[in-house]
Amino acid sequence: MENKFAYHSARSASAGSTSQHMQSTAPAMGERPRLIRMPEVEALSGLRQSMVYSLMAKGQFPASIKSGPRTVGWIESEVTAWVAARIAESRGGAA
């Protein structure tokens, strides 16, 4: 599994964050950034692991952050911003 995470982390970093909806969202003042693991990403996004990595590879989902030798996480505020943007798109509104 380690290679899969390393591959996708490298791919997402090389894909860049040029997409409009992929802008980094900093936590509000006073809030500390929180890293979440895959089960919580799946719960927040409604996506399964394979789709998360597929979208990451295309630069269409927030990139993961290597948090240990064999672990990655996602910045919670980036994932929730991504979900909010999908909701806005589906409702015909701007993100």
Encode pLDDT of 23-63 as tens digits: 556 666 677 899 999 999 999 999 999 999 999 999 999 99
Cβ atoms 52, 38 nearer than 8 A? yes
What three-state secondary structure class fits 62?
coil
Is the domain spanning 2-12+32-90 CATH 1.10.3470? The answer is no
What's the pLDDT at 20? Answer: 43
Closest CA to 22 of 57, 58, 62, 53: 62
**In terms of pLDDT, which residue wins out, 72 or 25?**
72
What's the pLDDT at 49? Answer: 98
What's the pLDDT at 29? Answer: 66
Domain ranges within the chain, ordered by starting residue:
2-12+32-90
What's the pLDDT at 95? Answer: 52
For residues 36 and 91, what is the distance between their CA atoms, to the nearest angstrom? Answer: 27
What's the pLDDT at 31? Answer: 78
Query: Does the pLDDT of residue 9 top 70, yes or no?
Result: no
